[in-house]
């Protein structure tokens, strides 16, 4: 089988790595890819926001399956364009991708499906902002209604900071979503969905803020681990039954059936799991940890999802133990990130590339904010964490930074659902 992966981040490197281990895959390409994926797959330059260009590449390369990684091409209609040329595609349609592309749409779907989530209000006019803010708090949750690569959210006890973030979004022409704050630990659950059937993967937890102890601004994600040793028994089954399946059913009833990866970002509150957000694709950096534990060949799972045969496919099997991902970010991230610096030590096993490229002289240099995802696996979560940070120490990138506390509290038994 010839498989084409769309994207250039560590998520795509993790997908390419898993696919490369599958004997069913006879040819593998990644567009545009990065310095890490180039060692495993053919690379093709392409504008991922142009659905027709992606479909043309799939035809030219003679792909049997296209796997779309990032949200932007999915929201733009990449999966629709690929399917229109007769090629199987793992990824939801543009209409179904609105579950991530518009938080207001997602809230409407959840309300119709009876799915527990925070109370929310859309503000699209600065004149209405102050009155709306008074209806929320004292912890304010302010979100960009559209795509923001995980960085469009402010969670703060400071009303002035909440207002400033909202005004920045409004001044840029983006509607603002205000939400009530949800207590409890956060978790991510990825589910394969083929329009009707839902197959959950391992739950994970990611770390959004840039600094240790959850200090500083939100990022696209600074690390993750899987599975969750502190998760209550039956959590995955409960989330599928009460949250994911009802949303899948509601999307189908609206004529927007979902096929691909539906990611539920959850708060495990005192009244049970509630949805923080839905994403229409594999999450980054959770994917890097989750796929490190997958024993079932990935290709078959993705193809069954894309062709509507997931119910007949054997359930995924997992390795025992745990995996931890630590993100190494460039100087300045999540603000203006420095690029072009030489990276050494990045070609070891378990080091997945994101913002990298290879220069003509062969050196690997930084080319984005989140530069590398370093993955450690082990029989226990502490062992996986130790392995991840051992590999982090092998990497040198001038001015880079990473969190030193990924999964630390979980290894100490300090994380609870509530």
Are 39 and 126 within one domain?
no
Please check whether residue 150 is in contact with residue 218, taking contact to mean a CB–CB distance below 8 angstroms: yes
* Strands 343-344 vs 396-397: parallel, antiparallel or unpaired: antiparallel
Q: Please indicate, yes or no, if residue 416 is contained in any of the structural domains.
A: no
**How many whole angstroms from its chain centre is CA 213?**
21
Q: Please indicate, yes or no, if residue 103 is contained in any of the structural domains.
A: no
110 three-state secondary structure: helix
Residues 6 or more apart in contact with residue 306 via CB below 8 angstroms: 65, 88, 89, 90, 194, 259, 260
Are 326 and 396 within one domain?
yes
Residue where a domain terminates, one of 131, 156, 179: 179
Are 175 and 190 within one domain?
no
Are 190 and 308 within one domain?
yes
Are 215 and 171 within one domain?
no
How far is Cα 373 from Cα 268, in angstroms, rounded to an integer?
A: 26
CATH of the domain at 307: 3.30.470.20
Give the predicted TM-score (pTM) of the model: 0.91
CATH of the domain at 49: 3.40.50.20
How far is Cα 318 from Cα 28, in angstroms, rounded to an integer?
A: 24
Q: Please, which residues bridge with residue 114 across strands?
A: none
Q: Please indicate, yes or no, if residue 417 is contained in any of the structural domains.
A: no
Are 277 and 223 within one domain?
yes
Q: Please indicate, yes or no, if residue 107 is contained in any of the structural domains.
A: no
Are 227 and 269 within one domain?
yes
Are 273 and 330 within one domain?
no
pLDDT number for residue 337: 96
How far is Cα 266 from Cα 276, in angstroms, rounded to an integer?
A: 5
Q: Which residue from 309, 290, 239, 248 is spatially nearest to 90, judged by alpha carbons?
A: 309
pLDDT number for residue 367: 97
How far is Cα 190 from Cα 166, in angstroms, rounded to an integer?
A: 29
Are 83 and 125 within one domain?
no
pLDDT number for residue 148: 61
- What string of pLDDT tens digits covers the 418 residues of the chain? 999 999 999 999 999 999 999 999 999 999 999 999 999 999 999 999 999 999 999 999 999 999 999 999 999 999 999 999 999 999 999 999 999 999 889 999 999 999 999 888 888 889 889 888 988 878 888 988 877 655 568 888 889 999 999 999 998 888 998 988 888 899 999 999 999 999 999 999 999 999 999 999 989 999 999 999 999 999 999 999 999 999 999 999 999 999 999 999 999 998 899 999 999 999 999 999 999 999 999 999 999 999 999 999 999 999 999 999 999 999 999 999 999 999 999 998 999 999 999 999 999 999 999 999 999 999 999 999 999 999 999 999 999 999 999 999 999 999 988 7
CATH of the domain at 337: 3.90.600.10
Q: Which residue from 107, 123, 125 is spatially nearest to 115, judged by alpha carbons?
A: 107
Q: Please indicate, yes or no, if residue 109 is contained in any of the structural domains.
A: no
pLDDT number for residue 111: 94
Q: Please indicate, yes or no, if residue 140 is contained in any of the structural domains.
A: yes
Q: Please indicate, yes or no, if residue 106 is contained in any of the structural domains.
A: no
How far is Cα 31 from Cα 49, in angstroms, rounded to an integer?
A: 12
Number of domains in the chain: 4
Kind plus residue range of the DSSP H or E element containing 311: none
Are 290 and 193 within one domain?
yes
Please check whether residue 268 is in contact with residue 417, taking contact to mean a CB–CB distance below 8 angstroms: yes
Are 282 and 346 within one domain?
no
Are 168 and 277 within one domain?
no
Cβ of 236: how many Cβ atoms within 10 Å?
19
Residue where a domain terminates, one of 256, 291, 312: 312
Residue where a domain terminates, one of 179, 197, 228: 179
pLDDT number for residue 137: 75
Q: Identify the domain containing residue 306 by its residue range.
A: 185-312
Q: Please indicate, yes or no, if residue 99 is contained in any of the structural domains.
A: no
């Amino acid at each position: 089988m010839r498989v084409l992966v769309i994207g250039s981040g560590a998520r795509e490197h993790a997908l390419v790595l898993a696919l490369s281990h599958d004997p069913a895959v006879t040819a593998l390409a990644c567009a545009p890819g990065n310095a890490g994926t180039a060692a495993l797959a053919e690379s093709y330059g392409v504008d991922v926001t142009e659905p027709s260009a992606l479909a043309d590449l799939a035809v030219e390369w003679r792909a049997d399956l296209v796997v779309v990684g990032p949200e932007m091409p999915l929201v733009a209609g990449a999966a629709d364009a690929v399917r229109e040329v007769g090629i199987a595609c793992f990824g939801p349609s543009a209409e179904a991708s609105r579950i991530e592309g518009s938080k207001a749409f997602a809230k409407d779907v959840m309300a119709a499906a009876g799915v527990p989530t925070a109370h929310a209000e859309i503000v699209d006019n600065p004149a209405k902002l102050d009155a709306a803010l008074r209806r929320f708090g004292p912890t304010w949750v302010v979100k960009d209604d559209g795509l923001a690569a995980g960085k469009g959210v402010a969670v703060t006890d400071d009303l002035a900071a909440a207002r400033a973030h909202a005004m920045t979004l409004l001044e840029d022409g983006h509607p603002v979503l205000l939400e009530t704050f949800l207590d409890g630990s956060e978790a991510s659950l990825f589910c394969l969905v083929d329009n009707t059937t839902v197959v959950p993967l391992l739950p994970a937890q990611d770390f959004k803020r840039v600094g240790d102890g959850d200090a500083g601004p939100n990022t696209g994600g600074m690390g993750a681990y899987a599975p969750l040793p502190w998760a209550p028994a039956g959590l995955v089954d409960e989330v599928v039954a009460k949250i994911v399946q009802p949303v899948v059913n509601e999307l189908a009833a609206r004529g927007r059936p979902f096929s691909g990866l539906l990611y539920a970002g959850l708060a495990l509150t005192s009244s049970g799991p509630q949805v923080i957000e839905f994403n229409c694709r594999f999450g980054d950096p959770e994917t890097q940890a989750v796929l490190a534990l997958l024993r079932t060949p990935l290709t078959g799972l993705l193809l069954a999802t894309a062709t509507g045969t997931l119910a007949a496919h054997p359930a995924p099997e997992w390795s025992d133990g745990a995996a931890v991902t630590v993100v190494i970010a460039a100087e300045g991230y999540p603000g203006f990130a420095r690029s072009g610096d030489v990276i050494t030590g990045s070609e070891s096993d378990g080091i997945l590339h994101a913002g990298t490229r290879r220069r003509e002289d062969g050196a690997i240099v930084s080319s984005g904010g989140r530069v590398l995802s370093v993955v450690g696996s082990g029989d226990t979560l502490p062992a996986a964490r130790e392995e991840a940070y051992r590999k982090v120490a092998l990497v040198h990138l001038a001015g880079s930074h990473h969190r030193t506390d990924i999964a630390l509290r979980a290894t100490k038994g300090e994380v609870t659902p509530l």
